[in-house]
Structure 1
Amino acid sequence: MNISSFDDLLQAARQQTEPQRLLFVFTRADLPADATLAQRERFKDGQGGALVPIMCVDKTPDELRTFADLAEESRQFGQEWHVVFATAMSGNGGLVPSSSAAEMPLQRMVEAIKAGNLGTLIPFDQQGQSLTLG
């Protein structure tokens, strides 16, 4: 299935034979302290920079009806974000993975984002549309 929106992600998760837990890492665009003047100008125009993880959460597909639900919950933490990365954990034997089981995979997501290893993660913009980064 081609995932072009958050709704596609929810639909795909709900169609799996084993229950899923969705993992999300919210990021904001930032510039390193040693950025050049050209990089600073591009950043000011809304381009460039690095995505820095600022918060993460795990949810079952049943806990989210729409992207608006996730975005609204994120606003409760008072952190402005630009891109949210998502992936899923598959359950086993009909059991949904627990939140505690999601802690280590969420940490690995954070480290992958910091390192720029985004291969298996799906990025979404603030409207819930998937992005192509690079």
Structure 2
Amino acid sequence: MISNFSDLLEMSVSQDEPQRLLMLFALAEGGSGNKKKQRKKQSGTISPVMCVDKLPEEIESFAALVKEADRISTDWNFIIVAGLSGENGVAPTTEDADPYLNQMANGLTMGEDLSRYLIFDRDETPIVME
């Protein structure tokens, strides 16, 4: 069970084939809801901000990843993560990851289901999108 980003890193390193992590940094903004009709579910829009791919061993910690991302842009509040598996003991390259990162960004823009991804907020809290 993955309950934080460290668990994700540990699990990705323990896979049979080397992994490359695909990360889409996104900005979620709440809709203009009626405060009198507050619901448990929140609505709004999620927009891609930037993408990065890294080998798990290239990520020191969640805090280091956030700091690195913030040097590029602070205009994000979620990290959407997927893993890309290598073959025959060889990790996928950045070039291998590009089409999948594009697919993630396009899927987010088109409002596709995000349940197949792991999502963390800036505090490393796992988020469930419905």
Q: Same fold (TM over 0.5)?
A: yes
> Where do 1:15-94 residues align within 5 Å?
15-30=14-29, 38=34, 47-94=42-89
1:122 to 92, 113, 118: 118
Give unpaired runs (5+ residues) of structure 1. Answer: none
Give unpaired runs (5+ residues) of structure 2. Answer: none
Q: What amino acid does structure 1 have at the position aligned with 2:17?
A: E
The Cα RMSD (Å) is: 2.0
Per the alignment, residue 3 of structure 1 pairs with: 2
Percent identity reads 32
Classify 1:15/1:37 alpha carbon distance in 2 versus 1 (closer, same or farther; 3 Å).
closer
Are 2:115 and 2:129, in contact at CA under 8 Å, matched by a contact in 1?
A: no
Corresponding pairs, count: 125
TM-score, normalised with respect to structure 1? 0.84
**How much does 1:127 deviate?**
1.5
